[in-house]
Amino acid sequence: MRLLKAAAIAAVLLLPSTGHAAKFQDAVGLAVGAQYAAFDQNVGSARHEMELGATQWLSITPHLSGVGGEFYGANNKYGVARAGLAMTLTDVNDPLFSARVAFERRWCTKQEIEKDQWVADAGVGWKALPWATLIASGEYGLTDTGLVTTVGVRVPFKVAGGAK
């Protein structure tokens, strides 16, 4: 149910306005990915996890993007989803490297692993290969003050905007 709610909010964030369908096609991005997540003692019972999933984003303005993602924890067998708003801190016209801060809502099917709450996130993405982007991020839970540190890879099959 929580994942359905997360998917619904992500869909609202990413749905096109009918008058800008062509523009929407240029602004949306989609990727599949894998990541290693490390949890500090405030997060929950697990200390680390390998997660597999997908991410979506809508580049709204040069600095602002609606972002979302859904991942499955393979060892602890849980689903976690996030949706929110990200602000790019680095050169917005650099398609190879960027850093961001984000404010997102997180939902998880197992509260003992990751609690539902608002989170603040800081991260970087580096397009190391034409088909792969390496990511690293730190996510701070605003309720439990837990820190989730993540490194991983994304394989985008649709990117937003292109270099301008």
Range 93-112, binding another protein (CB under 8 A): 93, 95-102
29 and 46 Cβ atoms separated by less than 8 Å? no
* CB nearer another protein, residue 109 or residue 149: 149
Q: How far apart are CA 107 and CA 5, in angstroms?
A: 9
Report if residue 14 touches another protein, rule: CB under 8 A: no
CB 146 within 8 A of CB 12: no
For residue 131, the SS3 value is: coil
| Structure-block tokens of residue 159 | 């990117």
Give the shortest CB-46-to-another protein separation in angstroms: 18
> Half-sphere exposure (CA, 13 Å, Cβ side) for 96?
3
Q: Which position among 6, 13, 43, 68 is part of the footprint of another protein (CB under 8 A)?
A: 68
Contact status: 7 vs another protein (CB under 8 A): no
Stretch that binds another protein, among 1-9, 42-50, 58-66, 107-115 (CB under 8 A): 58-66
122 binds another protein (CB under 8 A): yes
Identify residues 144-163 at the interface with another protein (CB under 8 A).
147, 149-151, 154, 156, 159-163
Name which position in 92, 103, 105, 110 contacts another protein (CB under 8 A).
92
Q: Tell me how crowded residue 41 is: count the other CB atoms within 10 A of its CB.
A: 9
Does residue 48 belong to the site contacting another protein (CB under 8 A)? Answer: no
Q: How far is the CB of 100 from another protein (least distance, A)?
A: 4
Instruction: State in angstroms the smallest separation of the CB of 55 from another protein.
Output: 3
Amino acid letter, residue 131: W
| Amino acid letter for position 79 | G
| By the rule CB under 8 A, 136 interacts with another protein | yes
Residue 70, Cβ density class (10 Å: 0-12 exposed, 13-18 middle, ≥19 buried): buried
